Amino acid sequence: MLEADKAFAGSIPENYDRHMVPLIFEAYAADFAQRAASLSPNAVLEIAAGSGVVTRALAPRLSQSASYVVTDLNQPMIDYAASRQPPDQRITWRQADALALPFEDSAFDLVCCQFGAMFFPDRASGYREARRVLKPGGHFLFSVWDRIEENIFADDVTNALARIFPDDPPRFLARTPHGYHDTALIRRDLEAAGFSHIAIETRAEQSRAPSPRVPAVAYCQGTLLRNEIEAREAGKLEYATDYAAAAIADRHGRGEVAAKIQAHVILAVV
């Protein structure tokens, strides 16, 4: 992963929440929150919370006595997520690096992270930190995207941009969000960090949008792919977005569109 793949700032948090969340994150967040709540945790740490889609789904399911610390590496994401959450004295918002968590050992019953581990520069360190802050018997619940070919709109956009920029195709989506999909590697990384009883479930969902332009805008302007497009040629973001939308329309139609998305959901025990 490149250093630039971590910089969610500017208009990206709002565009991410407006476009990406309903497109690919909401369905998984509902399932993720149900899995987390079924563990009946009293002290929860969320890592890489992004714009807060899991927080909004999980907080109502936790007991009134629970504590819920919500973190992200990017302060703009934390600020945006907090602005979307109803007032809740159980929730503490904090900027934090998953590789150096500012919490004591054995502080949490559950550490959860939806679609964030792919962004860890050193996943072994991130997993060791998650284990360190978990109580004995605590759970680490997280999810990662499967390979980009199993996530159709992301693949469509990536292929379309490769035609616009053949000499230097923007590969953010394949490189980072969809770059950590090998379940055998995930299991080895967790075992090396000291986790046991590792369960990995591959789960497919449908990504739906009212028009082909919605996923094009979501990926081109609501993710760090935007930075790569603008770095290739200033002023070409709208053209690239329109081109990606046309590619999606050619494959999926010009009205409401739907396509497969797929992810791995992992539960590991200390």
Q: What is the largest CA-CA distance in the chain?
A: 56
Residue 18 pLDDT exceeds 90 = no
pLDDT digits (tens, 9 = 90+) for 181-193: 999 999 999 999 9
Q: Which pLDDT score is estimated for 213?
A: 97
Using the CB atoms, write b or e for 187-204: b if 16+ within 10 Å.
bebbeebebeebebeeee
Q: Give first-to-last CA distance, the chain, whole Å.
A: 27
Mean pLDDT of 40-69: 97
Domain boundaries, the chain: 3-269
- Contacts of 59 by beta carbon, 8 Å cutoff, 6+ apart: 68, 85, 88, 90, 91
Lowest mean pLDDT among 6-10, 46-50, 163-167: 6-10
**Mean pLDDT on 66-74:** 96
Q: Give the model confidence (pLDDT) of 207-223 as tens digits.
A: 999 999 999 999 999 88
Task: Inform me whether the pLDDT recorded for 124 exceeds 50.
Answer: yes
Say how far apart CA 48 and CA 151 lie, in whole Å.
21
Domain 3-269 has CATH 3.30.360.10: no
Model pLDDT for residues 237-257, shown as the tens digit of each residue: 999 999 999 999 999 999 999
- What does the pLDDT read at residue 5? 40
pLDDT at residue 11, rounded to an integer: 55
Residues 161-206: tens digit of each pLDDT: 999 999 999 999 999 999 999 999 999 999 999 998 999 999 999 9
Percent of the chain with pLDDT over 70: 95
Is the pLDDT at 122 greater than 60, yes or no?
A: yes
